[in-house]
Structures are given as structure tokens and as C-alpha cells.
Structure 1
Amino acid sequence: MRVAFVSNVIHPYITGGAQKRIHEIGTRLADNGHDITIYGRHFWDGPKEITHEGMTLRAVSPEHELYTGSDGERSIMEALKFAKDVVIPLRRRLDEHDVVVASVFPYFPVLAAQLSTLGKETPIVTTWHEVWRSYWEEYLGALATFGKIVEGLTARVPQYPIAVSDLTADRLRKLGAERTKVRTVPNGIDYASIQETPPADHGFDVLFAGRLISDKQVDILLNAFDRGAPADATLGIVGDGPKRDALEMQAQALDSSHQITFLGFLDEYEEVLKQMRAADVFVSPSTREGFGITAVEAMAAGCTVIGADHPDSAVDEVVDNAGFLANPTAEDVAPVLERALRGKQPSTEPQTRAKEFDWDRVAESALEAYTAAVTRDW
């Protein structure tokens, strides 16, 4: 099969969950003889078109800053410019592809892919990582209505939609995609690679890994750790973001401040895995997770995972019975953390659950979905 992915950012030149998903699925399909092309921005050195791990990377737009504002919001202008730039190049090469797979966020590339395929029979498969709905008020403030309109419009254009979780699939149907079936194809992990990663020489009993933004609720974790962790336990915070300074100030004021370390952003993904392999408990009180990939990675690494029990988070369906959930408050997370540090185990072995999300399995499911779109047997 000849698959064209449309994504303004491309792994490994820009890190992130959506582009890593494309990379992992794309490389596996390429290894199995499928023709894979990714249309994106020119974030790599050298010519605009290169071959990388068996895939063709085709730059249709120059490198551009992705984030803007003090809170690190994604740039609307960047998304619009990329959408504008991809329409004609994709249209000109459309006959080279059997299916176009567009990563939904930041929405405009999906609409651009629709323009590229007007009058053609090439199907468009969309990958929905989240459906934001009311979150637009928090993200865009006065411009929230604009975000809601674009999200709703994107959901209603002709497409074959894939959601990464049942939570997102249900929300997508309510948004207006009920006219066609929504398939769930989860995100994944390289299970064998995680198993082979050695633990960090200097690890922590409790670990968090993620972007330091409000939704991740790291402030709750800090307070819960201060309440529930024994005096000899340690907490490592991996990641960076606009809330880092405030979180470090909060940590310094805690009685357990000497037990808490901020590691910052780790350039190498393997270094994050090493920390997970060394940790006993992984905690993410995040209240907005369209999937929850760090929870799966932590389970594969052998951690006991504690996630947030929240209607905007899909972590509960990802972790299932292989971890614990708590209301996202310090009062509720603290006793769960305390019990986990004392050795309480979930009813399902975490690594057994994590293996269900191996990228090999995910790539097979994705290929089935792409084939169904091409044959109109969705």
C-alpha cells in the first residue's frame, strides 16, 4: 500500500506523541514493503526530500516556531501556513498514494488534505488524539469560539476517523462524526526496547515525566508526595515547560524539598526510559489525556502507575486493572501513593498489560484501518 502521512512536524527532528506515532507505524509498514511518504516542515538538514528509515520525508514548508505565548500554546499562524503550503504539493503527487493519513491537531492540515483530494477518490484517514470541546475556553480564552468551530468543522468533513482511545472516539461521535464508524487504534510502545533498557544509575522511588503545564497537575503530585511519602523516598520530575519555575518554588517550600529533584528535559528518550526502569512508582495526576502514553511506558518498565480518575482522561482505559486511579487532589493521591510505595500491587501485572500496546500490534491495526478506507469497507 502507498500511504501519505500529513504532519507539520516529523519525528525524530521534533519530538512529540503524534509524530512519534506516525514514525513508529510508518517505519514498520515500510519494513513490510509498503511505500510511506510524510509531508511536513523542513526541520532536518539537507535537501527537502530525503529517505529516513525506509520512508520518504517530503518538506513542503520551511522550518517554523511551533509555540507562542508565555504558556506555550501552539501557534495558529504556523498551522495555517503549513496547511496553505501542503495543498498543492500533495495534490500534484496524489496519484502516488492510495490513502492520505492526516494527524488532526492542529486541524488545518486536515482541511488542507480535503482540498488536495477534491474530485479525487483517494480516501482521507484522520487520527484524532483528543477532542477538546470545553477545553477551548481555557486554551484560547476569548478566541475559544474560533477553536470550537474549527474542531467541529474538521469532525464533519468526509473522512475515515481513527481515535487513539474510546474516550476520544465517543467525544468525536458527539461532535458530529456519527455519520461514519470511528475506529479505535491506540498509541503504542516499543515493548522489547523498554525491557532491554538498563535502569538509571541514580533513579528515584517516584517519577513523573511530561510537559510542565497546568493540565499535568504536577503541583498536586508535589503536595501528595509531601503528605504520603516516607522520609527516605525520593521524587524525580522529568520535563520542562512554562510551569517549571512555579513548581520548583512550590517544592522548595515543602518539608520534603530535599527529597525532590527536577531533572529538566532529557534530550535522549532512552534517558527517560532509564528513569522509568529505576523507579518503583510512576504518578501522573494529569486531568487531560487523550491516551496516556507515559503510563504505558511506565507499566512496561515495571512501575506501579497512579493516574487521575477524571472524565477528561483516557488513562483509566489504558491502565485498566494494571495500576491505580485517584481523584486529582493531593488528599486522594497521597494515600494511594503511600500504599504503592509500601508494595501494594494492582490485580493485573503492569508489564502484561503494557505488552498489549506494542507498536507491532498497533501498526497491524492501523494497516487494517487504512486498507478498509481504500476498499471502502470501513
Structure 2
Amino acid sequence: MNLAFISNVVYPYITGGAEKRIHEIATRLSQSGHDVTIYGRRFWDGPEETTHEGVTLSAVAPETDLYTDDRRSITEALDFAARLAYPLAKRLHDQNHDLVVASVFPYFPVLSSKLAALGTDVPVVTTWHEVWGDYWDDYLGVLAPFGKFTEHLTVRVPQHPIAVSGITADRLADTGRDRDTIEVVPNGIDVDQIRNAPRPDEGDSFDVLFAGRLIADKNVSTLLDAFDRVADDYDDVTLGVVGDGPEFDHLERQASALDHTDRVSMLGFLDEYEDVLGQMRAADVFASPSTREGFGITYAEAMAADCTVIGVQHPESAASEVIGDAGYLAEPTVDSVADSLSRALAGETPSTEPTKRAEQYDWDSVADQAEKAYQRAIDGRW
């Protein structure tokens, strides 16, 4: 196969989850003998077209700011989509690629990719990490109708959709797509990297850990109160909160007012990914009562690190799908999270070994699933 991936941001120069997924799948497909090109912005030094780990990187737009007022820039997305259309169309009409794989967010490049493919028989596969729906009201406020319209329009573009979880596939189907036409290929982890990550020095680790962006949907406030409630029952038990975000100052104030404030550490953002993995390896319990997870990669990472994992049941979270019976699923309340914490700290073990559950999310397995899905699209069997 000769594949074109579309992403305005390219790993490792930008390190978000969507671009990480493209990198891990693309490099493995390249190692398997496929030709892979990623079209993006030039966040790297050097020529517009270069190679990284066997994958061709082709810059169709220059580096620019991705955010405006803490939100992804609409003008950046429009600019990238406009700059992408002609060079991609030229490559497709010259029969350089068998398939286009477009990361859905920020939407406009999907429309541009489909436009570029007009007049060819090159299929366009899309990767859906989330379906926002009414979440646009919280994210864009008065501009929410614009976001909803753009998502609605993107859903209706002729495409072969891949969702990263069953819940995301279901939410996509709710917008009008035929559920039977939506493939599910999960996000992945590097199991060996996690198992070999260096642990922190003695005294710098925690019994209970949270890691993630500190936003309201993560419900770290609930975790703090739940931890405070059970701390009396477990001598010297500690909680570490890894991450940064708009909720950091509020959570720091909350933590300082807890009865067991001396056992809670707000660690902020850790620059090195392996430092986060090391903290997971050193922890006994990983708890994230998030109510909005299109997949929930930290659950898989924590299971690979042999943590007892606590998530919550919620219709907008894939936690139950990722964790299965290899951890605990609470309700998103202080009482329920505290009960799960108490059981985990008491040493109750889930029915499935977390490390075994995590193996199904290894990138090698995910890349194999993606390769088969891409081939079905090319062969017209999807």
C-alpha cells in the first residue's frame, strides 16, 4: 500500500494523542514494507520534505500557532485545509497514493482531503477520536452552532470511518452514520516502554496516582474528596496528581484545605513522558473519575504498569470498554469513588490481570488492525 496520512500536527514535533497514533501506526506500516507519507505543517527543521523513522514527512504549510485563547484556532485549521488541497490533489491524480487517512479533528482537512480525491478512485478513511455534539456549547460558547455545523457536515462527507472506541462509534452512529460501516480500531500503548520505564527515586512516588489534563470533565475534585475520606483507614497512603490545565489553581486550593493535605501532591506537568510512566509503575492504584473519554489512554498505560485502575461509568466515557473487568468502575460521585479506592487499597484484585488486559492495546496489535482496515477500504470490501 501507498498511504497518505493527513494531520496538521506531526509527532514527535507536536506530542498530542492523535499525532502519536499516526506516528506509531505509520512507522510500523513502513517497517512492514508500505510506503507512507504524512502531510502536515513544517514543525521540523530542514527541507519541506524529509523522512523520520522510515516515514516521509511532507510540509504543505508552515509552522504556526495552534491555539487562540486556550482553544484550537479555527483560522489555523482553515488555513491548513486550504494549503493542503492542491498538493494532495496533484499527488492523488498522479496516482501516488492508494489511500488517504485523515485525522478528523480539526474537521476542515477532512473536507479538503475529500475534495482532493474527487475524480480519483482513492478512498478516504477518517479517524474519529470523539464526537462532540453538545460539548460544543461548553467549548465554543456563542460560536457553538458553527462547531456543531462543521462536525455535522464532516460526518456526512463520503468516507470510511474508524472510531477509536465502541462508544465513539455509537456516538458517530447517533449522528446518522450506519453503525455497521464504522470500524473500531483502538488507540494504543507501547507495553515494553511502559514496563521498562525507570521508577522515581524512593520517597518521590505515590500509592494513588492521577495523570491527565486538569479540566472539569476529569473530575479530579471528586478524587481529592474521595481520597480524603479513605485516608484515615490507610496509614501514610499518598496521592499524586500529575498534570496541568485550567483547573490546576482551583484543585490546588481544594487540596490545601483537605484534612489530609500533607498526603496530597500536585505535581503539575511532567516534561518527560517516561517520568509519568515511572510514576504509574511505582503506584498501586491509578484513579481517573473522568466522565468524558473518547478512549482513555491513561487507563491502558496504567494497566500495563500493573496498577489497579479506577474509572467511572458514564455514557460519554469509554472507561468501561478499556478497563473491562481488569479494574474498578465507580459512579462519578465521592461516595462511589471512595468505595473503589478503599477496595483497591485493601488489596482486592480484579478478576482479570491488568497487565494481561493491557496487551491488547499494544501498538503492534493496533497497527495490524489498522492495516487490515485500510486494505479493506482499498479493496472495496468496506
TM-score, normalised on structure 1?
Answer: 0.97
Paired letter, 1:373? A
The secondary structure found in structure 2 opposite 1:120 is coil
The secondary structure found in structure 2 opposite 1:176 is coil
Task: Determine the C-alpha separation between the residues in 2 that align with 1:25 and 1:340.
Answer: 34
Q: What is the correspondence of 1:196-235 to structure 2 with a 5 Å cutoff? A: 196-201=196-201, 202-229=204-231, 230-235=234-239
Task: Determine the C-alpha separation between the residues in 2 that align with 1:148 and 1:40.
Answer: 25
**Cross-structure match for 1:14:** 14
Task: Determine the C-alpha separation between the residues in 1 that align with 2:143 and 2:312.
Answer: 28
**Cross-structure match for 1:318:** 322
The secondary structure found in structure 2 opposite 1:177 is coil
The secondary structure found in structure 2 opposite 1:61 is strand
Task: Determine the C-alpha separation between the residues in 2 that align with 1:7 and 1:40.
Answer: 5
Paired letter, 1:204? F
Paired letter, 1:89? P
Paired letter, 2:236? D
The secondary structure found in structure 2 opposite 1:64 is coil
TM-score, normalised on structure 2?
Answer: 0.96
Q: What is the correspondence of 1:327-346 to structure 2 with a 5 Å cutoff? A: 327-346=331-350
Paired letter, 1:77? T
Q: Which stretch of the first structure deviates more once superposed, 160-169 or 88-97?
A: 88-97
Task: Determine the C-alpha separation between the residues in 2 that align with 1:121 and 1:68.
Answer: 37
The one of 258, 280, 297 equivalent to 1:276 is 280
**Cross-structure match for 2:91:** 93
**Cross-structure match for 2:113:** 113
**Cross-structure match for 1:74:** 72
**Cross-structure match for 1:172:** 172
**Cross-structure match for 1:373:** 377
Q: Does the aligned pair in 1 maintain the 2:230–2:342 contact within 8 Å? A: yes
Task: Determine the C-alpha separation between the residues in 2 that align with 1:234 and 1:308.
Answer: 21
Count how many residue pairs are aligned between Structure 1 and Structure 2: 376
Shift of 1:359: 0.7
The secondary structure found in structure 2 opposite 1:207 is strand
The secondary structure found in structure 2 opposite 1:282 is strand
The secondary structure found in structure 1 opposite 2:337 is helix
**Cross-structure match for 2:81:** 83
Q: Does the aligned pair in 2 maintain the 1:251–1:260 contact within 8 Å? A: yes
Structure 2 CA distance for partners of 1:260 and 1:179, relative to 1, 3 Å: closer
The CA RMSD over aligned residues, in Å, is: 1.2
The secondary structure found in structure 1 opposite 2:361 is coil
The one of 282, 296, 307 equivalent to 2:311 is 307
Task: Determine the C-alpha separation between the residues in 1 that align with 2:96 and 2:211.
Answer: 40
Q: What is the correspondence of 1:236-255 to structure 2 with a 5 Å cutoff? A: 236-255=240-259
Q: Deviations over 1:109-166 (max 9, x none)?
A: 1111111111111110000011111211111122222111111111111100000111
Q: What is the correspondence of 1:283-302 to structure 2 with a 5 Å cutoff? A: 283-302=287-306
Paired letter, 1:119? G
Q: Deviations over 1:305-334 (max 9, x none)?
A: 000111100110110000101111222211
Structure 2 CA distance for partners of 1:239 and 1:96, relative to 1, 3 Å: same
**Cross-structure match for 2:51:** 51
Runs (4+) of structure 1 exceeding 6 A deviation are: none
Shift of 1:180: 6.4
Task: Determine the C-alpha separation between the residues in 2 that align with 1:65 and 1:226.
Answer: 40
The secondary structure found in structure 1 opposite 2:380 is coil
Q: Which stretch of the first structure deviates more once superposed, 367-376 or 84-93?
A: 84-93
**Cross-structure match for 2:104:** 104
Task: Determine the C-alpha separation between the residues in 2 that align with 1:63 and 1:266.
Answer: 25
Unaligned runs of 5+ in 2: none
Shift of 1:67: 2.1
The secondary structure found in structure 2 opposite 1:370 is helix
Task: Determine the C-alpha separation between the residues in 2 that align with 1:58 and 1:246.
Answer: 42
Task: Determine the C-alpha separation between the residues in 2 that align with 1:157 and 1:302.
Answer: 42
Q: Does the aligned pair in 1 maintain the 2:241–2:265 contact within 8 Å? A: yes
Q: Deviations over 1:149-194 (max 9, x none)?
A: 1111111111000001111111111212218610000011111221
Q: Does the aligned pair in 2 maintain the 1:231–1:256 contact within 8 Å? A: no
**Cross-structure match for 2:5:** 5
The secondary structure found in structure 1 opposite 2:372 is helix
Paired letter, 2:242? V
Structure 2 CA distance for partners of 1:304 and 1:179, relative to 1, 3 Å: closer
Q: Does the aligned pair in 2 maintain the 1:160–1:180 contact within 8 Å? A: no
Shift of 1:231: 4.6
Q: Does the aligned pair in 2 maintain the 1:98–1:123 contact within 8 Å? A: yes
Q: What is the correspondence of 1:132-147 to structure 2 with a 5 Å cutoff? A: 132-147=132-147
Paired letter, 2:37? T
The secondary structure found in structure 1 opposite 2:181 is coil
Q: Does the aligned pair in 2 maintain the 1:4–1:37 contact within 8 Å? A: yes
The secondary structure found in structure 2 opposite 1:37 is strand
Task: Determine the C-alpha separation between the residues in 2 that align with 1:82 and 1:270.
Answer: 32
Structure 2 CA distance for partners of 1:275 and 1:89, relative to 1, 3 Å: same
Task: Determine the C-alpha separation between the residues in 2 that align with 1:91 and 1:143.
Answer: 31
